[in-house]
Structures are given as structure tokens and as C-alpha cells.
Amino acid sequence: MIYISAIGMLNALGRSAEEIAANLTRGVAPGMKTRTGWLQGTQEVVLGGVEGKLPPIPQSFAEHRSRNNQLLLAALEQIQPAVDAAIARYGRDRVAVVLGTSTSGLDEGDLHVQRSLNGEESLEWRYPQQELGDPSRFLSRWLALEGPAFTVSTACSSSARAIINGYRLIDAGLADVAIVGGADTLSRMPVNGFNSLESFSPTLCQPFGRDRCGITIGEAAGLMVLTREPQPLALLGTGESSDAWHISAPHPQGEGAVRAINMALAQAQLTPDDVGYINLHGTATPLNDQIESMVVNTLFGDRVPCSSTKHLTGHTLGAAGITEAALSALILSHDLPLPAQDFSRGPLDATLPPCGLLLTPQPLARPVILSNSFAFGGNNASILLGRVS
């Protein structure tokens, strides 16, 4: 079995496990704000941001200077003792780094282009800042590690697949410890890109709501330390699949999502009735919520409590998988009440198949949580986490 020994995260809910746990319980996200300057032709949109200063990146790491990597450093600070202990015990060549992202340092590249077009100097920009491989390259170099290090970019399942890849590296004996997770930063490209696809909500998103019209984008970072050493929390099972159906739409019967969930259950040797909560992908786009509710209804009926937490973090894109897996781990480790779906701004879509959506917070009855990430291109990933002691 592969265990989780430490978790660091920051997002619109807060900058530490304690702050995030408190705000998740209250259903309040300080970083979900109306912001300007992101969407062309519109003055104000709601976006989820990380508030406050981030750790600086020194001149010796100038080619890695990006807000994305600063978010990773802030998450790393929370788990540094566990990382240091792993390096001391196993050696730098036995610690892997696997991260997910979809933006990396794209915002810095955008700013560079803007300045250049305006005839301004852009002396701080370096091309490696925006390469998709940079997060893992940076973190591995920062920690002076010599083990496997790579980045996964499969849109909104990126960091979920990073967790799965870390699991497999340990299981295959290629590493003793894996630092897994990811980060994505607010950037004009995804904001305007999703808006052009008519999948973006300028106001706060409404997962599974009757009036839902698209996603609210957020930024976040999260890191987990995976190990064979027994811990109270474990990665019980993982599943992944590819729809091979459409570049952006899910399979109309949700076949790939069903396969990913069933794979995770089979690996964990669990049944649907063993699951105590499902953290839904729940993006608040009409099609995603329709297909996911159908998939959950098919596999679990209306028996397992579930909700999407994206109205509290925003859709953090490449960081969504780690963000929601980390929130699930927080519920398990801190014995938090399950977060209810927010229908305060509009009613539930009554046409959706019933799938156990929580209308009020309630205790976790069984210490197993399923976290789903279903991305563009039919990149599906499901992760089962649980308490083992």
C-alpha cells in the first residue's frame, strides 16, 4: 500500500491546512473575488486567487521565476520537514518529483509579449519559465534531487495523473518516496480561452445548478508526499482512462469516467458501498455536470454523499486533481463535515439524474473518499483515499 505522509496546499480557501479546513467548514473562500484585467471586453469577472505574498525565487534560479513556481514553494514550505526526512533516509536519488500543470509560467510569457508589443523592456523573462516541464524541473533542482522528475499536462486531470504516476514509481521500485501534485496560476489565456468556448462564467460558478453556464477559474498549488511507510492516510486505489471521443466534450454515456472509477475501486478492492463521499469534478458546465451525475447515478445510485468544491476554489485546471484530493485528505485527517453543494444563488437542476448531492453538511460515515478529475480530451482520473488507522 502507498501512504500519504504530508500535504501542503494553498488556494482561494487559504494558505495552510488549518486555514483551509476552517474555511471549508464555514463554506467561505476569501480568495474568490471580483477581479479586473483578465477577460477581454469585460471589466469584472470572479476568479479564485491566492492572497498575500509568496516566497521569492532568487537570482540563481532566474530561469524558473514564475508565480507558478512561487505557489509550489509556498506549498513545499508546509511539507519541508517530511521532505527533508525522506531525503535523509532514502537519499536524493530515491525521491521522485511528479507534478501537473496546464499554465506553468504562461502568465509571465503573456506579460513579456505585452511589454514587447508596447516597446517596453522585458528583462526578467526567460523562455524556460513557461515550459510545461518547468515545475518539476524547478522543484527537483531546488531540492537538489537526483530521482525521476517529470511534469504531466493532461488539462484538468494533470495533477491527479501526477499522483497516479508517483504511486506507480514507488510501486515499481523506481523510487522510495514521491513528491506529487501540481500548480496552476491565473492567466489571461485560459480565462479568455474558456470564454471563447462558451464554458466560462463571469460570476461565481454554480455546479449542478439549473442556471449554470460555465467554470470559475482559480489558481492553486498542492503537494503530497507518498511513501511505503505506514501512515494514517493511504492512497487506496487509482484509475485512469481516455475517452478517445471528442477534443473537449465527455463521452455521452460517460464510458471513460465509468472505467476510471471502476479501476480505482478494483485496485482498492472496494465496492461502491464502501465509499463515504465523492468529491465530484463538478465544473458547472452544462455537459460536464450532466454526464458526471449520470455516471455517479449508474455506479452509486443516490446512496453516496457527493458535492463539487469548485465554488470555493474555482476550477484550478492543472491543479484541480491535487487540490481536490488534498481537500479530501483534509476531510479524512481533520474529521471535517462533508461540504454541501451551494444552491443559494439558484436551484438544483432537477433534470439531472439523482447522485447524492449534499444539500447540508453532514459527517463522513465511511472513511473512504473518491476524488474525480475528468479533463478535456477525455482524460479521466479517479483517486480513492482513506483512513487506515
DSSP 92: G
177-184: strand order across its sheet = 149-152, 95-100, 177-184, 220-227, 2-10, 233-242, 379-387, 368-375, 277-279, 306-307
Confidence of residue 248 (pLDDT cuts 50, 70, 90): confident
Closest C-alpha to 312, from 331, 296, 297: 331
Question: Do 159 and 321 touch, CB atoms closer than 8 A?
Answer: yes
Q: How many CB atoms lie within 10 A of CB 102?
A: 28
The tens digit of pLDDT for each residue in 169-228 reads 999 999 999 999 999 999 999 999 999 999 999 999 999 999 999 999 999 999 999 999
User: Going along 185-333, which residue ranges are E strands?
Assistant: 220-227, 233-242, 277-279, 306-307
Is the pLDDT at 119 greater than 90, yes or no? no
Q: Is 271 helix (H, G, I), strand (E, B) or coil?
A: coil
How far is residue 352's CA from residue 349's CA, in Å, rounded to a whole number? Answer: 6
Question: Do 282 and 307 touch, CB atoms closer than 8 A?
Answer: yes
Confidence of residue 42 (pLDDT cuts 50, 70, 90): confident
Lowest mean pLDDT among 165-169, 249-253, 328-332, 349-353: 249-253
Task: Check 112, 251, 315, 355 and give the catalytic one.
Answer: 315
The whole-chain average pLDDT of the chain stands at: 95
Task: Check 281, 306, 311, 355 and give the catalytic one.
Answer: 281
How far is residue 10's CA from residue 20's CA, in Å, rounded to a whole number? Answer: 8
How far is residue 265's CA from residue 98's CA, in Å, rounded to a whole number? Answer: 23
Amino acid letter, residue 111: L
Handedness of CA 261, 262, 264, 270 (dihedral sign): positive
DSSP 357: B
How far is residue 332's CA from residue 366's CA, in Å, rounded to a whole number? Answer: 10
Task: Check 64, 112, 156, 306 and give the catalytic one.
Answer: 156
Q: Is 315 a catalytic residue?
A: yes
Facing residues of 100 across strands? 152, 182
Average pLDDT over residues 142-159: 96
The tens digit of pLDDT for each residue in 355-386 reads 999 999 999 999 999 999 998 777 899 999 99
Q: Where are the alpha helices (DSSP H) in 143-231?
A: 158-171, 188-196
Average pLDDT over residues 128-147: 95
| pLDDT attached to residue 41 | 85
Confidence of residue 140 (pLDDT cuts 50, 70, 90): very high
pTM of the model: 0.96
Fold for 2-387, please state it: Peroxisomal Thiolase; Chain A, domain 1 (3.40.47)
| pLDDT attached to residue 251 | 80
